[in-house]
Amino acid sequence: MKEISRRHVLLGAVAAAATPALIMPKFAHAAEFNLKFGTNLPANHPLNIRANEAAERILKDTEGRVQINVFPNNQLGNDSDMLSQLRAGAIDFFTVSGVNVLSQMVPVSSIYGLGFAFPNDNAVHQALDGDLGKYLRGEFAKVGLLAMDNIWSSGFRQITNGVKPIATPADLKNLKIRVPVSPLWTSLFQHLGAAPASINFAEVYSSLQTKVVDGQENPLSIISIAKLYEVQKYCSMTNHMWDGFWCMSSQKAWNRLPEKLRPVVAQHLNRSGLDVRADVAKLNASLQTDLQAKGMVFNATDSAPFRAALSKSGFYTEWRKKYGEEAWATLEKYTGKLG
């Protein structure tokens, strides 16, 4: 197993482009199945590094029959484009957030990102490796999508801004904060009194630089890789929402693989999903020191007042109705009572 250092992960785009590709095993024949794997993250993010490792192992263990080619950094289009291509069979795998674009097709997919629902990574993983994940994979199947068993972690998200530390819900009042184009994100920050603005990630840096918005929210790894510390002063460790990426195929694409090869592909993709969890946890744990050295001011927060504010505002009641009683009961098996 290759160890991923913080320096490796945080290399810039030029260095990443100069890094040699993984050396694939050589076989006497061309691969019978050449599959496309799309992602929206930079090539030097742990997700892409581990996806390439999975591809290398799959090529070897299928004796050259299955070759997966990883296309990072939206090379195959934006999230909506890639999801459409996945369903149409133009690409074979896509790592997609259940909280973001996937929720437009399968609304309940965002349930694991519910604000302040989970206390830590282990609690989320227990839910998504257990009954909640099983429930969601069943919902994906209804629209012709197949998700691997292990979700690939992005981690908890933190709030940055250029105005002040966020310590209580009152500090968010009228704060202009960028959120992804997602009903759940918008709802969360509206219920906390902020002024959320849905902006595509490619425009986040410039929006912060020109003060179109005061702040944004992302895992520390993204804050670092995207250099948001250059245009943000304060970082509040809110852990307000967990996000991750389902490694998905379409049922049609999956069925094109011979039945005896499918377990090999699934095994290695799931193994890389677990590796990404460890990588991201290690990276996020180490980045606070790095970002402080770059001038960011950090503060810890207590989740209880935020969760109480959401309960009082009706946030949990609203989303319970949207997700339905079966999904909500499955969620609360792992979170305890919400709302």
pLDDT for res 28: 57
Give a yes or no: residue 288 inside a domain: yes
Answer whether residue 229 shows pLDDT above 80: yes
pLDDT for res 339: 84
**Residue 102, exposed/middle/buried by CB under 10 A (0-12, 13-18, 19+)?**
buried
Helix axes 131-141, 121-129, angle to 10 degrees: 50
Mean pLDDT calculated for residue range 135-163: 97
Percent of the chain with pLDDT over 70: 92
**β-pair partners for 244:** 153
Answer whether residue 13 shows pLDDT above 90: no
pLDDT for res 323: 98
Asked if 324 and 108 count as a contact pair (C-beta separation under 8 A), the reply is yes
| Reported confidence tier of residue 17, pLDDT bands at 50, 70, 90 | very low
Answer whether residue 235 shows pLDDT above 80: yes
Give a yes or no: residue 124 inside a domain: yes
Asked if 245 and 151 count as a contact pair (C-beta separation under 8 A), the reply is yes
| Reported confidence tier of residue 16, pLDDT bands at 50, 70, 90 | very low
Count of structural domains within the chain:
1
How far apart (Å, rounded) are the C-alpha atoms in residues 277 and 155? 8
Give a yes or no: residue 214 inside a domain: yes
- Domain containing residue 316: 6-335
Give a yes or no: residue 30 inside a domain: yes
> Could you tell me which of 155, 316, 297, 153 has the C-alpha nearest to residue 233?
297
| Reported confidence tier of residue 326, pLDDT bands at 50, 70, 90 | very high
Answer whether residue 232 shows pLDDT above 60: yes
pLDDT one-digit tens code per residue, 180-215: 888 999 999 999 999 999 998 879 999 999 999 999
Tokens linked to 78: 């934006």
Answer whether residue 334 shows pLDDT above 70: yes
Give a yes or no: residue 1 inside a domain: no
Percent of the chain with pLDDT over 90: 83
User: How confident is the prediction for the chain on average, in pLDDT?
Assistant: 92
pLDDT one-digit tens code per residue, 251-266: 999 999 999 999 999 9
pLDDT for res 26: 63
How far apart (Å, rounded) are the C-alpha atoms in residues 243 and 124? 9
pLDDT for res 50: 98
pLDDT for res 279: 94
| Reported confidence tier of residue 225, pLDDT bands at 50, 70, 90 | confident
Name the pairing type of β-strands 176-179 and 195-198: parallel
Residue 102 belongs to a domain with what CATH number? 3.40.190.170
pLDDT one-digit tens code per residue, 19-74: 334 545 566 579 999 999 999 988 989 999 999 999 999 999 999 999 999 999 99
Tokens linked to 249: 């195929």
Mean pLDDT calculated for residue range 207-234: 95
pLDDT for res 9: 43
Answer whether residue 12 shows pLDDT above 80: no
